[in-house]
Chain A
Amino acid sequence: MIAFLIKRLFHAFLVMFVISVISFAIQDNLGDPIQQMVGQSVPESERAELREELGLNDPFFVQYLRFAKNAAHFDFGYSYIFNEPTTQVIMRHLPATLELVAATTLLIVLLSVPIGVYSAIKPRAWLSRAFMGVSIIGISIPVFLTAIVLIQLFAIGVEFTPFPTDTAWGAWLNGLLSTDGGMPAYGRGNPVHVFGTWYTNFSSLEGLTYLVLPAISLASIMLPLFIRLIRAEMLEVLQSEYVKFARAKGISLRRIYFVHALKNTMLPVITVGGVQIGTLVAYTILTETVFQWPGMGLMFLDAIERSDIPLIVTYLMIVGLIFVITNTLVDLIYGLVNPTVKLTGKPA
């Protein structure tokens, strides 16, 4: 166990090292940060002075060594646009992203398990077919489109009047097709302070309304994937010998489905889920941009647009770290769920 964790710690360092080298190597293609810092009429001499001051003229390895030396002391540099340490900037934006990911994960878990299990138990029911049909659509529509459609439907509202409005039934049908809107379309509202840089949206109904649309659109890609995964795994498990045996023994169907079968279904789901949580953090870039959700994704896009190299490098390293951590956690949980798996013997 200890050996496993040490190995993983080593992995984390390796990943962060490789990411930092790569992001440093591409920084010349990220644009000129000076251009973003000064107005258009600033003469070249002033720009050169500023460039020298920031050390941008030094050769690649000198810049990298300086960075690595400071990074070893957990000093990842100053953000050009926020004028404060990059770690501080990221710490301020991290809670918003984590809350969004948490809400999305909750949504996915609460919906995918029952729907997946149901459509595996009753594969021919019309409801199962409906779920499968909708999930295909969900997978194929890009996140930003889902987000914009959600905003139009539930934030702005739409009015359809295909039926005569002067009759009672027409008005009723029109009402069914139309939406009122009113959901917040951007930002986090007034989140409540918890501690440090953590402000939460989970403590009030008003705060939760801000989470709804972003969480749904972020979930729209992952949810169908998990429904299908759970359904497929469950179908396979239900065919296996031990389930047949349990049935023959006369154990109640409910117990077979939800205790014996589900447990084995969840093994691959946990593996995929762990990796996907990392991916979710990455997907937030799109969702956060559309909903102006003040998290790391939005911050990262801003940093790219303004060539804020220190912030870009730090963000990439931290996302790499998040991936390593979630993978490690998944492996630990995997060991708990399936005791036959030996962590230390397994190639990572």
Chain B
Amino acid sequence: MIFRKTLLATVIGATAMGAALLPATASAENTLRMAYDADPVSLDIHEQLSGGILQLSHMTFDPLVRWTQDLEFEPRLATSWEQVDDTTMRMTLREGVTFHSGNPFTADDVVFTVERLKQSPDFKAIFEPIASVTAIDDTTVEFTTSKPYPLLLNLSTYIFPLDSQFYSGTDEDGDPKDEIVKNGNSYASRHLSGTGPFEVTNRQQGVRTDFERYDDYWDTESPGNVDKVVLTPIGENATRVAALLSGDVNFIAPVPPNDLDRIRDDEDVKLVTMSGTRIITFQMDQNRVEAFKDPRVRQAFAYAINQEGIADRLMKGFATPAAQLSPAGYAGHNDELTPRYDVEKAKELMAEAGYEGGFSITMMAPNNRYVNDAKIAQAVAAMLARINVTVDLKTLPKAQYWGEFDDRAADMMMIGWHADTEDSANFYQYLTECPDPETGAGQYNAGNYCNPEIDALVAEANVEVDLEKRAEMLQAVEKALYDDAAFIPLHWQDLAWASAQNVDIEPIVNVMNFPYIGDLVIEE
């Protein structure tokens, strides 16, 4: 009886609630309901250098300059820039820009931001070349680098000016508001004031984040007409796709490769794919396996791997086969280098090096980090069997894998890399330079490959301000690495986004995978 009464009360309550809720949902506003595989870990955009944080940065802040789809620079908060001399660049800032808090945007905010970036554990390494920033007047800043540095504009895509007044002072606990805390509660990790198209109105970490368009957004020429954004993290691939197909959300990323056809076939949704910039490679550890010191053995391995086969069959075309680190569009991308699959040639090289009978190696790869990572490793192991190399393969979840990677625990290890600076030199710095714990060079060079000549060429390119000359040098580096078979490149992972038909995502997505939601148009 009691139960029946409660049920009745619930139904009555429900009807009343339902009626109260209706007006809120039936408004004429354009709402983007998007689902990513994860949500940003913090509201402090200097806490972590990760895809999620950069996606958040582009929604709530504006960079000084940003990348276009063709990897050109587009002025945002900086309207123009000039190289004063080899180590100095002067930037003119946009006028009439305000932060969400109402504070005006000035050159001081840029100085504040760069100084904070240089404190951030995640960003300080890439901001190391900048020696100082000074505000010349309200709308002019001057960057000085310790030595000639050709990538200042690349770095500027990471400078999202913070509201210096908003982040100054102390919070209720007496901690400075601009403190960067990795593990713990900081003011900046819970509060946000940027110049960007959206303000954060509500955030439940891991559940949903709500954004609303900033009324006084400076970019009135932007075609973007999204008033509200609801970002829901949906980690499960099948559910994310289901949420799009059922109309619960109208924009998802990433699209799992297994569901590409399903989305292509559905009339209500559309798919946008792009060749990505994340290179997937295998490294051959010379400290663990004597044979890897012989370039002929490394070349034999490179000849034995069928990149096109992997991209075609395993990745179902959702990857671009690679023979080098730099993807097309990067300065170092060398068109001459193509995959060199040739088993006969590989066998010859093995015989020449005295390993006709082959040898045994261990191999490790993650199983939930890159698209089809474990399957790719299995395929590579099978391909190596054809040149009599026996592979003992172990695949691990990413949380465990990186510990093993740091220990260099197997003879061949898989790593995928995306250059934070969108520049080829970043690949060499982390993946192919002679490992040196002091400078941090070759931090992820699990092959322990070391060629001082190539490193010298990279160092030279890093101070070359003539971009054309620099590109030639970087392309020479790629060629040298290719000839030496320093590592085995597999492919660049493709990117995919999907949306409802009326959400025009094509113009706003890019290879860096931070969609410019501010410019997104939802057709009525």
Query: Which residues of A are in contact with B by a Cβ distance under 8 Å?
Result: 29-32, 35-46, 49-50, 53-54, 78, 80-84, 148, 151-152, 155-157, 181-187, 190, 192, 202-208, 289-292, 294, 298-299, 301-302, 304-307
* Bitwise interface map of B from 83 to 125 toward A, beta carbon under 8 Å scored 1, else 0: 0000000000000000000000000000000000000011011
Chain A nearest CB from B418 CB (Å) reads: 8
Question: Contacts A203-B10, A290-B238; is A82 near B430 (CB within 8 Å)?
Answer: no
Distance, CA A280 to CA B403, complexed state (A): 34
Which residue of chain A has the shortest Cβ distance to B241 in the bound complex?
Answer: A156
Is B28 an interface residue, CB under 8 A from the partner? Answer: no
Select B443's contact among A37, A43, A81, A204, beta carbons within 8 Å. A43
Contact yes or no, B17 A203, CB < 8 A: yes
Distance, CA A156 to CA B246, complexed state (A): 4
Selecting from B56-64, B171-179, B181-189, B497-505, the interface stretch reads B181-189
Contact yes or no, B206 A182, CB < 8 A: no
Which residue of chain A has the shortest Cβ distance to B249 in the bound complex?
Answer: A186
Interface residues of B in 223-249 (CB under 8 A from A): 232-236, 238-239, 242-243, 245-246, 248
* Bitwise interface map of B from 243 to 279 toward A, beta carbon under 8 Å scored 1, else 0: 1011010000000000000000000000000000000
- Interchain Cβ contacts under 8 Å between A and B, 30 examples: A31-B399, A32-B406, A35-B399, A37-B183, A38-B48, A38-B121, A38-B182, A39-B50, A41-B126, A42-B121, A43-B440, A50-B121, A50-B183, A81-B41, A84-B185, A148-B238, A151-B239, A184-B246, A184-B248, A185-B248, A186-B243, A187-B208, A204-B21, A206-B18, A207-B14, A292-B233, A292-B235, A302-B206, A302-B235, A305-B397
Select B122's contact among A42, A53, A208, A291, beta carbons within 8 Å. A42
Contact yes or no, B17 A36, CB < 8 A: no
Chain A nearest CB from B336 CB (Å) reads: 29
Select A208's contact among B14, B234, B417, beta carbons within 8 Å. B14
Contact yes or no, A54 B232, CB < 8 A: no
Known: A78-B184, A203-B17. 15 other contacts (CB 8 A): A29-B400, A31-B398, A37-B182, A44-B440, A50-B183, A151-B238, A184-B246, A185-B243, A185-B246, A186-B35, A186-B248, A205-B11, A206-B14, A292-B243, A304-B399
Contact yes or no, B246 A187, CB < 8 A: no
Contact yes or no, B185 A83, CB < 8 A: yes
Contacts of A205 in B (CB 8 A): 11, 14-15, 17-18
* Bitwise interface map of B from 40 to 65 toward A, beta carbon under 8 Å scored 1, else 0: 01100000111000000000000000
Select B21's contact among A157, A182, A206, A302, beta carbons within 8 Å. A206
Distance, CA A184 to CA B430, complexed state (A): 45
Is B357 an interface residue, CB under 8 A from the partner? Answer: no
Chain A nearest CB from B20 CB (Å) reads: 9
Is B420 an interface residue, CB under 8 A from the partner? Answer: yes
Contacts of B397 in A (CB 8 A): 31, 305
* Bitwise interface map of B from 291 to 321 toward A, beta carbon under 8 Å scored 1, else 0: 0000000000000000000000000000000
Interface residues of B in 2-21 (CB under 8 A from A): 10-11, 13-15, 17-18, 21
Contact yes or no, A182 B246, CB < 8 A: yes
Contacts of B48 in A (CB 8 A): 37-39
Contacts of A50 in B (CB 8 A): 121, 182-183
Distance, CA A141 to CA B239, complexed state (A): 18
Distance, CA A206 to CA B35, complexed state (A): 21
Q: Which of B41, B48, B121, B181 is the most central at the interface, judged by chain A CB atoms within 10 Å of its CB?
A: B121
Contact yes or no, A292 B239, CB < 8 A: yes
Contact yes or no, B184 A186, CB < 8 A: no
Which residue of chain A has the shortest Cβ distance to B234 in the bound complex?
Answer: A292
Chain B nearest CB from A302 CB (Å) reads: 6
Is B205 an interface residue, CB under 8 A from the partner? Answer: yes
Distance, CA A44 to CA B437, complexed state (A): 8
Chain A nearest CB from B414 CB (Å) reads: 14
Contact yes or no, A155 B399, CB < 8 A: no
Select A43's contact among B125, B239, B248, beta carbons within 8 Å. B125
Closest 7 CB pairs of A and B: A31-B399, A39-B49, A204-B17, A43-B440, A155-B246, A39-B122, A294-B207
Q: Which of A31, A289, A291 is the most central at the interface, judged by chain B CB atoms within 10 Å of its CB?
A: A31
Distance, CA A204 to CA B235, complexed state (A): 27
Distance, CA A41 to CA B124, complexed state (A): 10
Chain B nearest CB from A195 CB (Å) reads: 16
Is B359 an interface residue, CB under 8 A from the partner? Answer: no
Distance, CA A205 to CA B333, complexed state (A): 57
Contacts of B189 in A (CB 8 A): 83
Contact yes or no, B443 A82, CB < 8 A: no
Question: Contacts A31-B402, A81-B41; is A41 near B122 (CB within 8 Å)?
Answer: yes
Chain B nearest CB from A257 CB (Å) reads: 21
Contact yes or no, B239 A186, CB < 8 A: yes
Contact yes or no, B49 A41, CB < 8 A: yes
Contact yes or no, B402 A35, CB < 8 A: yes
Contacts of B245 in A (CB 8 A): 156
Distance, CA A54 to CA B184, complexed state (A): 11
Distance, CA A50 to CA B181, complexed state (A): 10
Which residue of chain B has the shortest Cβ distance to A182 in the bound complex?
Answer: B246
Select A298's contact among B125, B206, B246, beta carbons within 8 Å. B206
Is B198 an interface residue, CB under 8 A from the partner? Answer: no
Contact yes or no, B17 A206, CB < 8 A: yes
Q: Which of A40, A82, A206, A306 is the most central at the interface, judged by chain B CB atoms within 10 Å of its CB?
A: A40
Distance, CA A82 to CA B204, complexed state (A): 10
Q: Which of A29, A43, A192, A302 is the most central at the interface, judged by chain B CB atoms within 10 Å of its CB?
A: A43
Distance, CA A151 to CA B239, complexed state (A): 8
